[in-house]
Structure 1
Amino acid sequence: MARNLLASVSGRTKKLFVSPAWRTKRTMLILMAIEFPLVVAVLTLFGIAHPNTYRTKLWQQGADLGYNSAPNAILYAMANYKPVKTPLVWSGHLTNFNLVISVLQTFILICKIPMITLNTFYPMLSLLVHCFLLALYSYSAYGQTGHDTLDPRRPSTGLPWYIKESCDIASTSTLKGYCLQAKSAFVVTVLVLVLFCIYVILSIHSAIPTAAQREQYEAEQAEKRERNAAIAKLQAEIDAEAKAYAEEASHMSVDPYWAQQQGQFQRSPGFAPQMSPGGIAAAPSSPYGQWAAHYAQQPQQQYYQPVSPGGSMAPMKSPAYDPPPEQYQQPEQYQQPPAVTPRTEAFQHLSGGSRSDLPLRQQ
Structure 2
Amino acid sequence: MYPIYHNFYYSNGLLTYERHRAVIEKRSEFYNPWQYRVLCPYTIEGMLWVYNHTVDKVYPVEQKIHFNIQSTSGTNEETEEFIKLMQTPGAIKYMILFILFRFIEHVFIFYLTWRLWNYFIKNKWLLFFALNFLAISLGNAGAAADLTFNTYLDIIFYLIAANMIVYGANSLWLFVIIPFAAFNRETSMMIPALYFISQTDFTQFSFKKLNINKIGWPKKSLWLQTAALYVIFFSIFFYLRWYFGYRPQQVWKVPSGLPMLKLNLFSAVGVKAYFELIGTFGIIPIILYKFKSFPHLLKKWFLFLVPVWFLIHYVSVVAYQPRLFMVPLILIFMPMLLWLIDKEGKRDAQLTHDS
Q: Which has the higher contact order (CA 8 A, sep 6+)?
A: 2
TM-score if structure 2 supplies the norm length? Answer: 0.21
Give TM-score scaled by structure 1 length.
Answer: 0.20
